[in-house]
Structure 1
Amino acid sequence: MTDERDPAPAGFSGPRRALVLTGATLVVLLVGAAIGMLITTARVDRAPSAPSPESVDVGFAQDMQVHHLQAVTMAGIARDHTTDPEVHTLAFDIESTQLGQASEMAGWLTVWGRPELPDAGRGHMAWMTGSGHGHGDATTAAGGSARMPGMATTEELNRLRTVSGKELDVLFLQLMLRHHQGAIPMAQFAADRAGTGYVRDLAQKILSGQTAEVTLMTTMLAARGATPLPPPN
């Protein structure tokens, strides 16, 4: 009996089928990223001037890109190893959406002539100084933080790579839920205060999308008899 959910060509099985599926997924993600970069360049080229290095626009693009890329990593692990169709769908959606958004933000920074990472001495989230939001780990002298709220530790990522079955599904949902909870205040701040229209627009999309996914993942955890991790500081 053929599994109707299996998109691999007839006659492909085992490792060969996995290779086909992985290759197809990479093509989809890379094409999406390339399109995002082209759209970004067209938008930024119409902007009157590049935002300053200390602006909300630049800080948000630098930090949210880093935040997104860790989510892409976690989602890729879950997509490759889960046997739960609901978790697989969510992981693929997060991976593809956040890779495209990270590519768009990288495009902004390239056209603005700004580095993709914040200055090491400044740290993350210095652009939110005075906002009243938590800044994760230790604060730098410039008011930023060494690690953004919601980010998984190296130990947590290594554990996600080694577990399987229900344990994998629950850990992925817990880590991604906390990850989203850390990103939402960042997106809200940029949606309210970024000086560039297309930056505010993307921040609002991130805010809306991740808020909805927080509700979904909370429900999915409850259905699997698990609870969320403590929210980030």
Structure 2
Amino acid sequence: MFAVGATVAAASDGGDGGGSSASGTSSRAPGRYSPDAGFARDMAVHHQQAVEMSFIVRDRTGDEPVRSLAYDIANTQANQRGMLLGWLDLWGLPKVIADEPPMSWMAAPDGGDGETGGHHEHGTGAAKPGALMPGMATKEELAALGAAEGRDAEVLYLQLMTDHHKGGVAMARGCARQCATPAERALAQGMVEAQQSELTLMADMLKQRGAAPRG
């Protein structure tokens, strides 16, 4: 996984310390509504819920494979969230924009500076009622996870995290295509690969428990 300091520095100077990146993209800070900034804001929120769910399940089961997976997800996504928020600080951009619809950056024009408002539809599928973004759990689902124990907690966590990863992979693919910052594109592509691997692992773990992903 990327070192936070080095990755934030690379996002500042395009990775080569000069005025442009190796791909020819200008190193000036991304715009307020750019894919780079929108992805950083949205994925930071998305990751925070994954960390929360992982800490919940660690207290609800003694199953070591599930606890180990939850630890890995919490640790990885907390570190990545720190990178995303660090980039926003580096770029002098807000971490929250009240009138920005979640995921609107995914429809922003490629190559634009993103200075205008990003009120567009996105192409990742609608979030379920009560969820902020595709793949995210509702308050009711989080409460159910907190009330479950043993196998029930394991199955619900694996199902919720499977949905969560699917939403996260769609977002990360969007940044890998649209973000202008090389370090951020690389981080997004790493998320795609890691979470796809974990999706396969979680499908196997659900099968071992006589269950399956939802939907």
8 Å CA contact 2:51, 2:73 repeated in 1:
yes
Establish whether residue 199 from structure 1 lines up as the match of residue 184 from structure 2: yes
8 Å CA contact 1:51, 1:57 repeated in 2:
yes
8 Å CA contact 1:51, 1:58 repeated in 2:
yes
Establish whether residue 126 from structure 1 lines up as the match of residue 120 from structure 2: no
Counterpart of 1:21? none
Cα separation, 2, equivalents of 1:133 and 1:175: 17
2:30 to 41, 51, 54: 51
Is the partner of 2:57 in helix, strand or coil?
helix
Counterpart of 2:65? 86
Establish whether residue 223 from structure 1 lines up as the match of residue 201 from structure 2: no
Establish whether residue 151 from structure 1 lines up as the match of residue 122 from structure 2: no
Aligned residues: 190
Structure 1 segment 1-233 matched on structure 2, within 5 A:
36=4, 38-47=5-14, 48-117=27-96, 119-129=97-107, 132-136=123-127, 147-230=132-215
Structure 1: runs of 5+ lacking an equivalent: 1-31, 139-145
Residue 45 of structure 1: how far off its partner (Å): 3.3
Runs of 4+ in 1 over 4 A off after TM superposition: none
Larger radius of gyration: 1
The code of the aligned residue for 1:198 comes to A
8 Å CA contact 1:40, 1:107 repeated in 2:
no
Pick 1 or 2: higher relative contact order, CA cutoff 8 A, min separation 6: 2
Residue 79 of structure 1: how far off its partner (Å): 2.0
Per-residue displacement from partner, 1:147-206 (whole Å, max 9, x unpaired)?
A: 210100001111111111100101110100110011111111111111110010000010
TM-score by length of 2: 0.82
Q: Relative to 1, partners in 2 of residues 1:58 and 1:135: Cα closer, same or farther, differing over 3 Å?
A: farther
8 Å CA contact 2:11, 2:184 repeated in 1:
no
The code of the aligned residue for 2:172 comes to A
- Name the structure with the higher helix share: 1
TM-score by length of 1: 0.76
Residue 116 of structure 1: how far off its partner (Å): 1.3
Q: Relative to 1, partners in 2 of residues 1:77 and 1:137: Cα closer, same or farther, differing over 3 Å?
A: closer
Residue 122 of structure 1: how far off its partner (Å): 2.0
Cα separation, 2, equivalents of 1:147 and 1:69: 12
Q: Relative to 1, partners in 2 of residues 1:137 and 1:83: Cα closer, same or farther, differing over 3 Å?
A: closer
Cα separation, 2, equivalents of 1:122 and 1:95: 27
